[in-house]
Structure 1
Amino acid sequence: MKDNKSSNGVYWLVLGVVGALIVMLALFFSALLNNYEVLDKGKLLDYTSGFVYKIRFFDSYTVFIEPEHRLEGDVFNSFLMIGIAFISLTYAFLIAQIKRDGVRERSFFMYITLFFGMIFLAADEFFGIHESIGHNMQFLTSLPLVKRPDDFIILSYLIPVVAFLYFFRRELMSNRGTLKAMGGVVGFFLLASVSDLLTLPVEEAAELGASICLVIAILLLGSTHVQQAVRLPVSSN
């Protein structure tokens, strides 16, 4: 009994440390992305033909960077979303492999749905899909309270999100920690929305916070579902 309690303590300690490191890393990148100035850019170095940026961070540190993409929070956030997608795919695979009676197929399909949903959101974040759609549907600005057409496109995303939450509500409520983390997702999402409307400088940080909370929620929820599946009677098939 003591060994089990000790193992659980180590387990939660490791999860806590990993979670803290993820939060610290995200905050670090968020701080970098909001405190830099591009001093020069182009073919600045004689020994390379690459496009190089000369950047000063926090008005103190000057470095040369040769990125494949512009240094933006959207890029890092899209990477987080891709990570969430493949975490979901991993849990779907594990649940499918545990051949036990009573394993709900709904859990499997929930993670598959999450995988494709997060892949789409990552692509949207990286390539600006909703902005591009909005630019070609400018008639939407004639609707009440719609100033930018892409705002209406983002609002329409709530339809599949609400449908997902309703259909998989029992699966999502199987872990209290998940509910708290999902509350963080909603809170950061609302903060990002308000920041976008009022042009406040915390929109990107809020989006990162929402993604981090979603990572935590999926890890806790997937762990619960796998544990439940393992404890069920072995299938006779």
Structure 2
Amino acid sequence: MTPSPTREARPPLLLAGCCTAFLALVVAAVAIASQADVIERGSLLSWAGDDVRRVDAGGVRFYLSSEFDPKPDALTTWILAAAGSVAAFAATLLWTRGSARTMAFFVLSAAGAWYLALDEGFAVHESLGHNLGFLADVPGVKRPDDLVFGLYAVGALAFLLAFRRTLLQCSPALALFGLAFAMTLGVSFLDFVDVLPGFAEEGLEIATSGVVLLGYVVLARALALEGLSPG
């Protein structure tokens, strides 16, 4: 008897769910540890030299390496780099059987995601803004780099519209990219108004990059692995 597709799909889905839950737990633990109060630091453990901090997080005390210095921007960078890698891999799978439009979509997606990863990791748009001081004269603009980031959202919208036929072949991916665009607008707005604490904006950036990654995974699976007709 041939097993049903649903039964075959359960183990991979369960494994993916477990891995996702594990990674979420690690991220939560790192976030909690990063907010812990430092009680003492120095040569606290005989085997670690002076490379130790003792911290307190809600009454729970534990040790951290002095190298423990989590930065939300780093996580966003990794996720965007992963999204670019997924797009590049999809392009290689479709190299001989994909349409020129589909190939262009994934190649440009890979380049764009990798650029955004570099931007996040090396503060590219902030540096651009610092060298475009005249943008501060635009009414309502406090920081030129906020306007530069806003232009990224305009570029993202133009990209989605240009390749809407490709995205329409996979409605879940279309929904994810639409959500990511809306979240990007939210990040731009938070950048512009600067009324919420930095961690709220950084958290939204991480979530946005995660949605982008998921969108590319879903679309790549639909077009490259399930053999949908490229648009």
Q: Which TM-score band applies after superposition, normalised by the shorter structure?
A: 0.7 to 0.9
Give yes or no for contact 1:35–1:58 (8 Å, CA) kept in 2.
no
Q: Secondary structure at the match of 2:3?
A: helix
Q: Are the aligned partners of 2:223 and 2:229 in contact in 1 as well (CA < 8 Å)?
A: no
Aligned counterpart, 1:154: 149
Other-structure match for 2:223: 225
* Aligned residue number for residue 64 of structure 2: 64
8 Å contact kept, 2:153–2:184: no
Secondary structure of 1:61's counterpart equals strand
Distance 2:184 2:156 in 1: 13
Closer, same or farther: CA 104–50 of 1 in aligned 2, 3 Å: farther
Structure 1 residue aligned with 2:195, among 177, 198, 204?
198
Match for residue 129 of structure 2 among 120, 126, 134: 134
User: Hey, what does 2:103 align to over in structure 1?
Assistant: 108
CA deviation after TM superposition for structure 1 residue 204, in Å: 1.6
CA distance in 1, matches of 2:169, 2:29: 33
Paired residue type of 1:219: V
Matches within 5 A, 1:48-59: 55-58=55-58
Give the TM-score normalised by the residue count of structure 2: 0.79
Residues in 2 aligned to 1:37 and 1:144: alpha-carbon distance in whole angstroms? 42
Report the aligned-residue RMSD: 3.3
2:114 to 119, 138, 144: 119
Q: Is the 8 A contact 1:181 1:214 kept in 2?
A: yes
Q: Distance in 1 between matches of 2:5 and 2:185?
A: 39
Q: Deviations over 1:134-174 (max 9, x none)?
A: 12222211111101111111112234322211221111121
TM-score by length of 1: 0.78
Cα deviation 1:173-217 (Å, max 9, x = unaligned): 211111222233134334434444322442122111111111111
How many residues matched? 227
Q: What is the distance in 1 between the residues matched to 2:113 and 2:207?
A: 16
Going from structure 1 to structure 2, the CA distance change for 1:62 and 1:11 (only over 3 Å counts) comes to closer
Q: Give the conservation status (yes or no) of the 8 Å contact 2:30–2:70.
A: no
Cα separation, partners in 2 of 1:194 and 1:33, compared to 1, 3 Å: farther
Name the amino acid aligned to 1:138: G
The alpha-carbon distance between structure 1 residues 229 and 143, as it changes in their structure 2 partners (threshold 3 A), is same
Q: What's the CA shift for 1:88? A: 0.9
Q: Which runs of 5+ in 2 are unaligned?
A: none
**Offset of 1:9 from its aligned partner?**
3.6
Distance in 1 between the 2:152 and 2:89 partners?
25
Aligned partners of 2:22 and 2:101: how far apart in 1? Answer: 30
Q: Which amino acid aligns with 2:21?
A: L
Q: 1:160 to 1:230 in 2, by over 3 A?
A: closer
Q: 1:168 matched to which residue of 2? A: 163
**What SS does the corresponding residue of 1:188 show, helix, strand or coil?**
helix
Cα offset, 1:78, TM superposition: 0.6
Give the corresponding residue for 1:235: none
Percent identity of the aligned residues? 24
**Residues 137/230 of structure 1: CA separation in 2 closer, same or farther (3 Å cut):** closer
Instruction: Give the distance between the partners of 1:204 and 1:2, measured in 2 at CA.
Output: 48
Letter matched to residue 121 of structure 1: L
- Further displaced range: 37-46 or 207-216: 37-46
Matching residue's letter, 2:36: Y
Q: For residue 176 of structure 1, what is the amino acid of its counterpart?
A: S
Q: 1:115 to 1:62 in 2, by over 3 A?
A: same
**Which consecutive residues of structure 1, in runs of 5 or more, have no partner in the other structure?**
233-237
